Structure 1
């Protein structure tokens, strides 16, 4: 009896195992097909996001993740980034290293008057700020003539402009780290080295766009008192021969987009505001030393011009977003030349990306171009132009050719022949 049932029991067991294996196989096939579809969808979504990186008309470049040698040794894959995050193509220039500045500077200011470059204030380190002026003489390529600033004057993020003798100094950050701004305004007579007070700005600002235009000192934008929020206000005051002709600042048409670290240029009786950013580092809440704390920043390529009707006009944008260029410009042969700066943060690492190009805006054609490369990427550099030579000094440079993130504050001075 038992022997007769054994084959039937064995047949049922085999059939049961076959069904289980079949069901398991079906699940595996479905799971594989789903994963393949999901991967394809994710890849498609990634490509969709990546395709939004390049700006209209920009080129795409392959940027190594590390140094070239390290890539070959470790087999690190290369990464494709848009021109916004990579160096734009441009001619290589021959640079000559000159005598360095007496001290390194970050977020300082500079004004050129004839053959002299006056270099003001700035951070030495995040915990140390300068409160003096150094002078570079283009004739003999030497530094000298150091003198002190007023004790109440800001140490960084200054608004500054000259009429050829008097230098007007407006608002800025007072102290190291991310301390608060001051509304104090001063004027320096460069012939006598004497300082005078001016009517204070209605409210303090960080790094506002500042220029002299049609007999008035204009101050626009910058960051508000918390160092991060963009300001739109625009004020002006009549000045002449280093003196204010009015007791109070006058409200003017607001700037279309607020923020600090812009180039502000007057040429051919037009006022231009170029580049800049929204947002900046802020003081960490409750920090007794106002320790800097990172916040979101948006760098832009906007170019605005104030015309005869006192209305802002939008001009062709820069080749790439650029900020930290407030004293990094000169006028050469009816062109505005801008040196270095910072662009959008890296899309993967989210680190600040420095700019290593020299950009030119041709005023008659209103076209941008890249006219050269710097010896390294640098932000908040201080620029002058003398006898056909372009000079830059100070700022914060990159970590190397393959790493555009900020490294050390410098005091180096470089020059190159620039023919436009």
Structure 2
């Protein structure tokens, strides 16, 4: 700033006062803007930018209360935590606006299960394996009859078959069960592959995968059983490999699996669907829990995970195409989908971890992917947030059972493994 002599100070006093006032006002506006902007942490902005996709039709609405922080700055605050509410993001930040659905509770599954698998054949719903607790895994199949709305049967799986993280698919009679984790906690995977004849209730072995995988994306397409992605033998490293083998009437027509075009992004817990001669792979994650080094029981140890919203498609050109992503990142949806009116319906799952607490966040929405327009919408809410749902559709009713639900309406972290069955009438 220039110096002023006594002789000209009266000349510039008014100007100086005016400039000072303008500077103070400008500084206050900038401070207010910065405080309001600081309520959106870099982690939040990263997540929001992923969810507010241009083609998804969704807008992420910020926490309006955070903008009041600047107004409170001059107030005396007793508790330090009260001065930084913008850093304590709501634990329910992951929920998207969605209409309410009328859910009706049906007979619960005979056992609760997590990371199990399911296949629907007409009105029968076959529910496989899964964790009962982290230290106990199921090795049987329960069967639900949608026409009678009751559980009607139970039978054992082969002793050599995996107990969770299975790849499953059916041609309408035969159910193919591929690889997966053998045992509780975070034990290793198996490459063993089996097929179930649902009419004769008999199991048969098939050629094992070239390498074991956890939760690989699995489908029947053009006369071949396709298996891709998943996690590798250490349970954490994403697999990109894609294999196929020719099958017919529950039998392998080849002795070895054939290498196909690798999937663009590896990892487990994804939906894999075939419709109108197109193969879709939706959502998933990179990374997963691993066995703690040296643990005699293969105790699970937390590792970094990245959940994504990616959607890929294979068609007659046998080249992967990238489609509009899900409304938000979503994983643990491998058996959480059904096909209704030329669209894919997906229930629940897990999304990115809370940016502050780093806790897992469950998903409570029902998503619809419109195959004609290749666009997404949120069509409703589940009774609660839940992952690894096992989902079916019959006579206009959307059903889901099992999985791990949230801790309550205000806490989206996972807690209780359930066996509950719910249904709602869809009007699409």
**TM-score interval w.r.t. the shorter chain?**
0.7 to 0.9
User: Partners of 1:330 and 1:84 in 2: how far apart?
Assistant: 26
The answer as to 2:108 corresponding to 1:88 is: no
For 1:4, the equivalent position in structure 2 comes to none
Q: Residues 368 and 79 from structure 1, CA distance in 2 versus in 1: closer, same or farther, beyond 3 angstroms?
A: farther
Contact 2:91/2:412, CA 8 A, preserved across alignment = no
User: Partners of 1:162 and 1:47 in 2: how far apart?
Assistant: 46
Given candidates 391, 394, 400, the residue that maps to 1:392 is 400
For 1:117, the equivalent position in structure 2 comes to 125
Superposition TM-score, scaled by structure 1 size:
0.85
User: Partners of 2:62 and 2:142 in 1: how far apart?
Assistant: 40
Deviations 1:51-95 (A, max 9, x none): 33312343125499xxxxxxxxx9895878599942111110000
For 1:235, the equivalent position in structure 2 comes to 243
Contact 1:61/1:86, CA 8 A, preserved across alignment = no
Structure with greater Cα Rg: 1
Q: Which runs of 5+ in 1 are unaligned?
A: 1-36, 65-73
User: Partners of 1:79 and 1:364 in 2: how far apart?
Assistant: 42
Superposition TM-score, scaled by structure 2 size:
0.84
The answer as to 2:421 corresponding to 1:413 is: yes
The answer as to 2:234 corresponding to 1:226 is: yes
The answer as to 2:256 corresponding to 1:248 is: yes
Q: Comparing 84-93 with 114-123, which one deviates more in the overlay?
A: 84-93
Contact 2:169/2:219, CA 8 A, preserved across alignment = yes
Contact 1:62/1:80, CA 8 A, preserved across alignment = no
3-state DSSP of counterpart to 1:355: strand
Q: Which runs of 5+ in 2 are unaligned?
A: 1-29, 54-58, 66-80
Given candidates 336, 342, 349, the residue that maps to 1:334 is 342
For 2:47, the equivalent position in structure 1 comes to 53
User: Partners of 2:403 and 2:35 in 1: how far apart?
Assistant: 42
Aligned 1:119-134 pairs, distance under 5 A: 119-134=127-142
Q: CA deviation at 1:145?
A: 1.2
User: Partners of 2:184 and 2:286 in 1: how far apart?
Assistant: 21
Deviations 1:90-125 (A, max 9, x none): 110000000000000000000000000000000000
For 2:381, the equivalent position in structure 1 comes to 373
For 1:19, the equivalent position in structure 2 comes to none
Contact 2:39/2:87, CA 8 A, preserved across alignment = no
User: Partners of 2:281 and 2:99 in 1: how far apart?
Assistant: 26
User: Partners of 1:365 and 1:42 in 2: how far apart?
Assistant: 41
Deviations 1:102-157 (A, max 9, x none): 00000000000000000000000000000000000001111121000000000000
For 1:307, the equivalent position in structure 2 comes to 315
Contact 1:83/1:320, CA 8 A, preserved across alignment = no
3-state DSSP of counterpart to 2:346: strand
Q: CA deviation at 1:177?
A: 0.1
For 1:356, the equivalent position in structure 2 comes to 364
User: Partners of 1:38 and 1:292 in 2: how far apart?
Assistant: 46
User: Partners of 2:306 and 2:90 in 1: how far apart?
Assistant: 17
User: Partners of 1:400 and 1:61 in 2: how far apart?
Assistant: 23
Deviations 1:235-280 (A, max 9, x none): 0000000000000000000000000000000001100000000000
